[in-house]
A and B are shown apart, each in its own frame.
Chain A
Amino acid sequence: MPDTADLQQKDYYELIRVVHEIAEENKFTVYHLGDTKICSDLGFGSFNKGNTCIVLEEDTAVELGSPQKESVSITMWTSHRGILSNRLWTCGSDFDRLIDKSVSYIQIIMLGFEDGSRAVESDIGRIKNLTNKLPGFMTRNMPGKTWIRIDKKRMQEGFSLYALGQCLHKAYLDAIPDIKSMEIILITDNDEFIKTLKPISEIAKIISGDNTKFKWVSDGVVTCDELNCDSCDEKATCDSIREMLKKRKII
């Protein structure tokens, strides 16, 4: 089971700690995760396989993190005990109060496993795709980005950041019974948070292997084989990562 070994090697404890710091410093609305009733009321369930459901622009009521807007999406896990406590953190206007139909979006999913969990890394990344699990809801994912469209019917029937958080929680628990605790952060339309959290997303990509240019050393040092930083096309990313690491006293 090489994926299981990877899961233990790639512990995001330090990043989760930084995300917690950022969340504590700011005004978030905090809920408890575990409201399964709202999920069943919304018709949540796996009613089809694959990503075939498409919500077209003309049917869209709310669009989050589209390619024309900023998007930060991070999925992390740790086996450190006591750090995660089944909380949903939300910030920004809720879906029914958005001024613009299409806004930037941040989604951070943090999972707590016991040592020796048999969860598979590639599955963990895909569970956040609620396409075909939630009627009227479409997700498209790229490393570091999540693009969501919610259709008009879904919104008319009622939908919110709270509901989305609960559905994501249920999706993970249904798929991976190994999960001991979980936290989710959902933020709409906030450029400041995008700026703050993007370096964390970049580090997460290095740890996960979605970016092989850099290497993450467990004590918080990022290295790479590039000889000339001035000509490197990842210089901006690298600078933002180093700045964040210094600021958050990881190095």
Chain B
Amino acid sequence: MVETKIIAYIGKGGTGKTILSALTGKIAIEKQKKVLFIDADPAMGLATALGVEGYKTIGTAREEIIKSAKKGISQKNDDIREITDYVLLESLYESAEFCMFVMGHTNTIGCYCPVNSLLRNTIKSVAGRFDLVIIDAEAGIEQINRQVVESVHYPILVTDNSLRGAKTTVLANETINSSPSMKPLKTGVIFNRVEKSNEDLQKYIEDKGIPCYGSIPADLNISMIDADGLSPLNIDKTTVAVEKLRTILEMNDIL
């Protein structure tokens, strides 16, 4: 049985969670790990970054399940579970390198809770087949509140050298700790796209009991890949950001 590690990148918008998710996947794939990405951001940035196309989102799957249940009169809970299993497997993007679920959004009026519930169940049922599950979470702490990132072993809080970023980090950590269902093995912070973390902000975060894993500098190679619309999986493995991230993940026994 595979021992699956689940990582989630959490933080305020614009801190680079998507690129860190992709680069983590790249490092893991190079280590011959089986990787499942979960693009939990409704903007679907990770799917776009990795060039994933032709997928069915979990949001679409949810709508199909509702439609199917409405169409028939004989469907009981077990029948709906069967339909859910079918549609969710259909939503699994599978390539030779990695697999991915894209949460997407829904056109059906109503809250996201049922979708999130599907996502949680999917993580549980599918994750066991992978060495590593990497979740690119929605900006902010909403998804932790809704327990989308339940069962995560390594929540990695991402910030920049801004007070707002640091405050979001602290709030996210408090939410994780107060959630009865979240029992992370280790939580830490990465300062992303900075030469060096701001000492005051780092102290502010560490004083709240959150270890800082380190900082990753802005990387021209990543900017170029972004500008050209190329997959971060193809970036040179010796590029600075990749090497720094690899060191952080290895030193903290995350990878």
- Residues from chain A with a CB closer than 8 A to the CB of B203 are none
A interface residue numbers (CB < 8 A to B): 6, 51-52, 54, 56-58, 67, 121-122, 125-126, 129, 140-143, 145, 147, 205, 208-213
| Most interface-central of A125, A142, A208 (chain B CB within 10 A) | A142
User: Do B94 and A58 touch (CB < 8 A)?
Assistant: yes
User: Do A54 and B129 touch (CB < 8 A)?
Assistant: yes
- Residues from chain A with a CB closer than 8 A to the CB of B81 are 51
- Residues from chain A with a CB closer than 8 A to the CB of B83 are 141-143
Interface string of B58-96 (1 = CB under 8 A from A): 000000000010011111101101110111011000101
CA distance A56 to B90 in the complex (A): 11
B interface residue numbers (CB < 8 A to A): 68, 71-76, 78-79, 81-83, 85-87, 89-90, 94, 96, 99, 125-126, 128-129
- Given A58-B94, A58-B96, A142-B68, the answer on whether A51 and B74 have CB atoms closer than 8 Å is no
CA distance A126 to B90 in the complex (A): 19
- B interface, by DSSP: helix, strand, loop or mixed? helix
User: Do A141 and B73 touch (CB < 8 A)?
Assistant: no
Nearest B-chain residue to A123, judged by Cβ: B78
- Residues from chain A with a CB closer than 8 A to the CB of B72 are 143, 205, 208-212
User: Do B73 and A212 touch (CB < 8 A)?
Assistant: yes
CA distance A60 to B153 in the complex (A): 29
User: Do B82 and A51 touch (CB < 8 A)?
Assistant: yes
Quote the shortest CB–CB distance from B87 to chain A (angstroms): 8
User: Do B85 and A140 touch (CB < 8 A)?
Assistant: yes
- Residues from chain B with a CB closer than 8 A to the CB of A51 are 81-82, 85, 125
- Residues from chain A with a CB closer than 8 A to the CB of B78 are 122, 126
CA distance A78 to B61 in the complex (A): 34
CA distance A76 to B143 in the complex (A): 44
CA distance A67 to B99 in the complex (A): 17
User: Do B71 and A126 touch (CB < 8 A)?
Assistant: no
Quote the shortest CB–CB distance from B57 to chain A (angstroms): 14
User: Do B71 and A56 touch (CB < 8 A)?
Assistant: no
- 29 A-B residue contacts at CB 8 Å? A52-B125, A52-B128, A54-B89, A54-B129, A56-B99, A57-B94, A58-B94, A67-B90, A122-B74, A122-B76, A122-B79, A126-B78, A126-B79, A129-B82, A140-B85, A140-B90, A141-B86, A142-B83, A142-B87, A143-B72, A208-B74, A209-B73, A209-B74, A210-B71, A210-B72, A210-B74, A210-B75, A212-B71, A212-B72
